[in-house]
Amino acid sequence: MEKIPVAADDHIFVLTGAGISAESGLPTFRGSDGLWAGYRIEDVCTPEAWRRDPAGVWAFYSARREAAQKVRPNAAHVALAELESLIKGRFFLCTQNVDDLHERAGSAALLHMHGELAKSRCERECGRPPVEDRNVYRSLDEVGRCPCGGRLRPHIVFFGEMPLEMDRIQDEIAKATLMLVVGTSGSVYPAASFVHWARQRGERTVYVGPEQPLNADAFTHVFEGKAGEILPGLFEVEIASRR
């Protein structure tokens, strides 16, 4: 298999999606056995759904928490953590995933642009930061309140809400010389645009996943296969000489 050379002055920006956690046993969203085949986005992942039926939204995310707590990072998560350790300071990982498998594999320069399953925050956006919360709620009565009185909601970016830390993401893409995208169908924006931003800057753009994403044309390299099989050994890292 072709290898991607990483020079001593390369900066890598990585975007991951649900596909990287598939080999750990977590379902993706789209496709015949994906989460969105069993649930309607409008019922569980929009501000309107939260206003109309907070119990239903919590039931969905409680089930996601339960599933995420049962699985472990796979070879793809580990390969990215190892790559980061080889080129510390020149690596940034942005994930659309809300599970914590990247951090459990050892990734450190990491941003969850769609939120985190293991956190909750005030529904009133009162300014208090998200709190760690791994509870699996069986009913709405069990869900806590913020000191301001607002109900806690999942720390998840619902459809129609702004992804988190877009300024930082743009800065990191501007620094990068190589963009690696893993396991995302390219159907949700703005994440699906990142590769176009990188191409406009002339960056190399690499995709890894078993099928072509919707934005496949914007990649300079597409590796078709499972992330856990392709990522370990994909990069040839030039180690800076220490003189």
Binding of ligand OAD by 23 (CB under 6 A): yes
Distance separating alpha carbons of residues 27 and 183, to the nearest angstrom? 12
Q: How far apart are the first and last CA of the chain?
A: 33
Q: Which residues contact 168 (CB under 8 A, 6 or more apart)?
A: 111
Smallest distance from ligand OAD to CB 161, Å: 8
Binding of ligand OAD by 193 (CB under 6 A): no
- Per-residue tokens: 54: 């907070």
Binding of ligand OAD by 24 (CB under 6 A): no
Smallest distance from ligand OAD to CB 215, Å: 11
Smallest distance from ligand OAD to CB 27, Å: 8
What sign does the CA torsion over 69, 18, 2, 10 have?
Answer: negative
Q: Which residues contact 30 (CB under 8 A, 6 or more apart)?
A: 36, 185, 187
**Binding residues among 127-186 for ligand OAD as defined by CB under 6 A:** 157, 182-185
Binding of ligand OAD by 227 (CB under 6 A): yes
Binding of ligand OAD by 117 (CB under 6 A): no
> Is residue 114 annotated as a catalytic residue, yes or no?
yes
Catalytic residue among 112, 114, 155, 221: 114
Q: Which residues contact 167 (CB under 8 A, 6 or more apart)?
A: none
Binding of ligand OAD by 221 (CB under 6 A): no
Binding of ligand OAD by 21 (CB under 6 A): no
Distance separating alpha carbons of residues 101 and 104, to the nearest angstrom? 5
Binding of ligand OAD by 114 (CB under 6 A): yes
Burial grade of 3 (CB within 10 A; 0-12, 13-18, 19 or more):
exposed
Smallest distance from ligand OAD to CB 35, Å: 8
List, by residue number, the catalytic residues: 114
Interface residues toward ligand OAD, by CB under 6 A: 17-20, 22-23, 28-30, 34, 45, 96, 114, 157, 182-185, 187-188, 209-211, 213, 226-227
